[in-house]
Amino acid sequence: MNYSETHQKLLASNKGKYRCGLSSLKTRSNYWQLLPYIRLQWQTIARGLIGILGYVLATLVLINIAGKLATPFAQGNVVAIAQITGSCALVFLVRGLFQSIQDMYMAKAALRVAFHLRQQVYTHLQKLNLSYFETAKAGDLSYRLTEDVDRIGEVVNKVFHDFIPCILQLLAIPIYMIYLNWQLTLATVIVAPLMGILVGWFGERLRKYSLKSQNRVSGLSAILSEVFNGIRLVQAFAAENYEIARFGHEAERSLKAKYSAERLKAIQIPIIGFLEALSALSLLIVGAWQISQGNLTVANFFSYLAAAALLIDPIGHTTNNYNEFKQGEASVDRVFELMAIQPTVIEKINAIALPPVNGKVEYRHISFAYKPGEPVLKDISLLVSPGEAIALVGASGAGKTTFVNLLPRFYDPEVGQIFIDGVDIRDVKLHSLRRQIGIVPQETIMFSGTIAQNIAFGQDVFDMEAVKEAAKIANAHQFISQLPEGYQTWVGERGVNLSGGQRQRIAIARAVLLNPQILILDEATSALDSESEALVQEALERLMEKRTVFIIAHRLSTVRRCDRILVLEQGQIVESGTHEELLALERRYARFYAQQFS
């Protein structure tokens, strides 16, 4: 099965399944939610299980052989001892082989579980609304997708490759011990329930401490990503010491949370060790008593001792694994917490692909609020003809960005409908809608990649000639050609090696290449030098030709050139008309114009 099929299968099996993991009313461990991912790996796991079974059986054979050593030892029969140890060596070898099989397949299964989980969470996040990312911390999200998922993979690996074999040994060896002598077994395992209760008690506490610790480390990661993204601001405000102190404070909280978990483990290990020692001592006393009563042979006592010795390892491993299992649960909770967040902009099941549009846009009685009871847009209606250029002006916070964000469905209005070419945008596939709306944002983000890849953003395969053509229209070809590696020049995460004007022209080239019938332009407010401004302006004019355009306008030249200017105030269109018409009105626009543009 290829990746895409697997992915679809997981999507289908997970639909509507996720619950928020951090709820205090948690009744069922979030580990159960890993089941679909584990089920997908059943073939690999089955192969690993064959390895485990072989390993456990070989262990039982070893115990049996050990018992056979008692008589030759008593007789000083070196040849017999050599033969028995020889067969022991052979069984050890076979056991090792089974161990390799088990390790290999279980590791493969666990890594694939983590891989699919990571892909699913990432896919899920891509579907969440813009509003979620406006509040989410990038560092925290990347920590959950990297460290937390890795940790889950490690726990799954541990469970399969360590925990299950240990549990099998803990079941099989005592059964064999009972077969040898039940009184002795009773003396050995009498402390087991107490141990079990203690391990469970400590495990639950460890899970809580780990959750705290993971949240703290995630907090650290969020601070790092904030600070490194805004390092210019930090330096400009000479806020380095403030940031160092903030980081130190968070790091200390992380240290404390981690130390709490380690301290708990430090208390737990000697307690469990003491109980183990008690059971070993009682074994000697009861063993000697059973031999003296004639209920046990020395040979069986040897076998018994070998069995008890082979139990020490699985007991220790099980305790440790259980601790890790509980600690890992914190990561599972954190990852499935993301999966429980539901997008509010949802594509209808029967959504159709929006056919190529002419660009007629209608807002019909649109009202919108980010928070209930605080409307940002109030009953707005607007009809825009194909090819019309609309400028949106108004004070900061008037709702201009919100108004245009409704068109590509970054948000859905509370009331009203939006139509493109007469089709309600809620009835169409999001992809087909968004691919027909070009956006040139105020600040252009560059993704790691070449300039050509940045212009052809979102396309796996692209025509280099078309990219160059788009760059020419966007007045970007000349400066790109002058770069040492031209279109193959690598630009960093935030395009630091390009000027503001150059980045804007790359953004324009992106829109030209997409060739949408509808355009949203958010003009940059930051001042460009006059040459750069002229180049950007010219590029924009070419881009806008024959398209329906919404511009959040800051430049006088842009506003003047538009077919219609809308003045927004407190979420309502209070004036509408051409530049001349609105100036003649001598109301808000005229005042606004006088204040800002004259």
Ligand X SMILES: Nc1ncnc2c1ncn2[C@@H]1O[C@H](COP(=O)(O)OP(=O)(O)OP(=O)(O)O)[C@@H](O)[C@H]1O
Closest approach of Cβ 404 to ligand X, in Å? Answer: 8
In 10 A of CB 498, how many CB atoms?
Answer: 23
- Binding span for ligand X by CB under 6 A among 28-36, 239-247, 390-398, 424-432: 390-398
317: CB partners within 8 A, 6+ apart: 162, 163, 166
Residue 133 is a binding residue for ligand X (CB under 6 A): no
Strand, coil or helix: what is 451? helix
462: region left, alpha or beta (phi > 0 left; psi from -120 to 50 alpha): beta
Q: Chain centroid to CA 334: how far? A: 9
- Binding span for ligand X by CB under 6 A among 193-201, 238-246, 399-407, 584-592: 399-407
- Binding span for ligand X by CB under 6 A among 55-63, 270-278, 391-399, 453-461: 391-399
- Binding span for ligand X by CB under 6 A among 4-12, 114-122, 395-403, 510-518: 395-403
Residue 450 is a binding residue for ligand X (CB under 6 A): no
Residue 402 is a binding residue for ligand X (CB under 6 A): yes
Closer to ligand X at the Cβ: 248 or 397? 397
Closer to ligand X at the Cβ: 377 or 582? 377
In 10 A of CB 573, how many CB atoms?
Answer: 20
C-alpha separations of 505 from 387, 445, 474, 531 in Å: 22, 12, 6, 13
Site map 75..114 versus ligand X, x via CB under 6 A: ----------------------------------------
Residue with tokens 């881009």: 543
Residue 407 is a binding residue for ligand X (CB under 6 A): no
- One residue of 397, 478, 557, 585 binding ligand X per CB under 6 A: 397
- Binding span for ligand X by CB under 6 A among 56-64, 75-83, 389-397, 534-542: 389-397
Q: Is 206 exposed, middle or buried (0-12, 13-18, 19+ CB in 10 A)?
A: buried
- One residue of 144, 212, 216, 400 binding ligand X per CB under 6 A: 400
Query: In this structure, which amino acid lies at residue 534?
Result: A
Residue 465 is a binding residue for ligand X (CB under 6 A): no
- One residue of 398, 437, 507, 508 binding ligand X per CB under 6 A: 398
Residue 440 is a binding residue for ligand X (CB under 6 A): no
Q: How far apart are CA 73 and CA 35, in angstroms?
A: 51
Q: Chain centroid to CA 342: how far? A: 14
Q: Residues 344, 412: contact at Cβ < 8 Å?
A: yes
- Binding span for ligand X by CB under 6 A among 90-98, 348-356, 393-401, 476-484: 393-401
Closer to ligand X at the Cβ: 229 or 405? 405
Give the residues across from 491 on adjacent strands.
449
Closest approach of Cβ 134 to ligand X, in Å? Answer: 5
- Please spell the DSSP secondary structure of 304-334, one letter per residue: HHHHHHHHHHHHHHHHHHHHHHHHHHHHHHH
How many residues bind ligand X (CB under 6 A)? The answer is 12
Residue 131 is a binding residue for ligand X (CB under 6 A): yes
Closest approach of Cβ 549 to ligand X, in Å? Answer: 17
Of how many residues is the chain composed? 598
Closer to ligand X at the Cβ: 315 or 567? 567
Site map 181..200 versus ligand X, x via CB under 6 A: --------------------
In a 13 Å sphere around the CA of 41, the CA atoms on its Cβ side amount to 25
Q: Assign 3-class secondary structure to 226-262.
A: HHHHCHHHHHHCCCHHHHHHHHHHHHHHHHHHHHHHH
Q: Residues 408, 437: contact at Cβ < 8 Å?
A: yes
Q: How far apart are CA 194 and CA 196, in angstroms?
A: 5
Closer to ligand X at the Cβ: 42 or 370? 370
Output DSSP code: residue 66. Answer: H
Closer to ligand X at the Cβ: 396 or 598? 396
Closer to ligand X at the Cβ: 325 or 403? 403
Closer to ligand X at the Cβ: 482 or 595? 595
Two structure tokens written together for 416: 């009203």
Strands, E, within 80-178: which ranges?
A: none
Closest approach of Cβ 370 to ligand X, in Å? Answer: 3
C-alpha separations of 42 from 109, 131, 213, 381 in Å: 8, 38, 33, 56
- One residue of 67, 139, 394, 495 binding ligand X per CB under 6 A: 394
Closer to ligand X at the Cβ: 297 or 405? 405
C-alpha separations of 53 from 66, 102, 257, 319 in Å: 20, 9, 39, 21
Query: What sign has the CA pseudo-torsion 466, 467, 471, 477?
Result: negative
At 345, which helix (H) or strand (E)?
A: none
Closer to ligand X at the Cβ: 52 or 376? 376
Closest approach of Cβ 568 to ligand X, in Å? Answer: 6
Q: How far apart are CA 150 and CA 97, in angstroms?
A: 27
Residue 376 is a binding residue for ligand X (CB under 6 A): yes
Residue 367 is a binding residue for ligand X (CB under 6 A): no
- Binding span for ligand X by CB under 6 A among 42-50, 110-118, 206-214, 394-402: 394-402
Two structure tokens written together for 556: 């006088």
- One residue of 399, 408, 495, 516 binding ligand X per CB under 6 A: 399
Closest approach of Cβ 405 to ligand X, in Å? Answer: 7
- One residue of 134, 460, 531, 580 binding ligand X per CB under 6 A: 134
The CA-to-CA distance between both ends of the chain, in Å, stands at 65
Residue 572 is a binding residue for ligand X (CB under 6 A): no
Residue 595 is a binding residue for ligand X (CB under 6 A): no
- Binding span for ligand X by CB under 6 A among 30-38, 116-124, 237-245, 392-400: 392-400
Closer to ligand X at the Cβ: 134 or 531? 134
Closer to ligand X at the Cβ: 136 or 178? 136
Residue 396 is a binding residue for ligand X (CB under 6 A): yes
Output DSSP code: residue 487. Answer: G
Per CB under 6 A, residues contacting ligand X are: 131, 134, 370, 376, 394, 396-402
